[in-house]
Amino acid sequence: MNPIIVVTGGSKGIGRAVVEKFAAEGFDIITCARTEADLVQLQTDIQSRYEGITVHPKAIDLSSKSAILAWVEEIQALHRPVEVLVNNAGVFAAGQTYNEPDGLLENLIATNLYSAYHLTRGLIDSMITQHRGHIFNLCSVASIMAYPNGGGYSISKFALYGLSKALREELKPYGIRVTAILPGATLTPSWDGVNLPQERFIKPEDIAESIWATYRLSERTVVEEIVIRPLLGDL
């Protein structure tokens, strides 16, 4: 039976690249996104391209705790241990801490932090039971360096980085590895319409390759965090 990877936000960008990489390496995929049509297309593409691979898609709003918990129950009903969890889903909104719209921070925290928190808590028991597993949290260079007009977003990503550190310490005794990925500007649909050359961005596939290479290390080793930037520097 194929191992299982759970990837949030798997229909586009970094999530899609991770799904592609792990499917190519023989993993069955459990993934989610907001748009049903995107997930149907993903399922068709992956299952037609990689023989023997199954994709379990779910359209879900990850800012909703109740929706996440319901999805956890569906995953648990498969009765298959989760080998890798990639908390990738996130949203960006520009704004300054002192004058950004009321409610913006709450929305960013719900999607960028609480989704990872609740999903990890929901799926961790199977990893603890098998004494193995790897959790990847897609943080950001904004997790370690705030920048103008990135107030609430930076706050949410600092918090996700903190969650990664807490989980790493707590899960060491169970043989579970936790890695924070901190990418700079990555060529995903969130940058559509920006008039910049592609070489100013990281390729999503490079991040997926980094995640795969980190997972493939021996179980006695953990890469705690990876900072990945465009060669020409941050935007």
Active site residues: 153
Q: What is the pLDDT of residues 63-85, one digit of tens each?
A: 999 999 999 999 999 999 999 99
76: left (phi over 0), alpha (psi -120 to 50) or beta: alpha
Q: In Å, what is the CA distance from 26 to each residue of 2, 43, 49, 51, 77?
A: 6, 15, 12, 9, 21
pTM: 0.96
- Residue-wise pLDDT for 159-207, tens only, equals 999 999 999 999 999 999 999 999 998 878 777 777 788 888 999 999 9
Question: 145 pLDDT band (50/70/90 cuts)?
Answer: very high
Q: Which CATH number fits domain 4-228: 3.40.50.300, 3.40.50.720, 1.25.40.340, 1.10.150.120?
A: 3.40.50.720
Judged against a pLDDT cut of 90, whether residue 219 lies above it is answered with yes
Q: What is the rounded average pLDDT of the residues 35-47?
A: 97
Question: pLDDT exceeding 90 applies to what percent of the chain?
Answer: 87
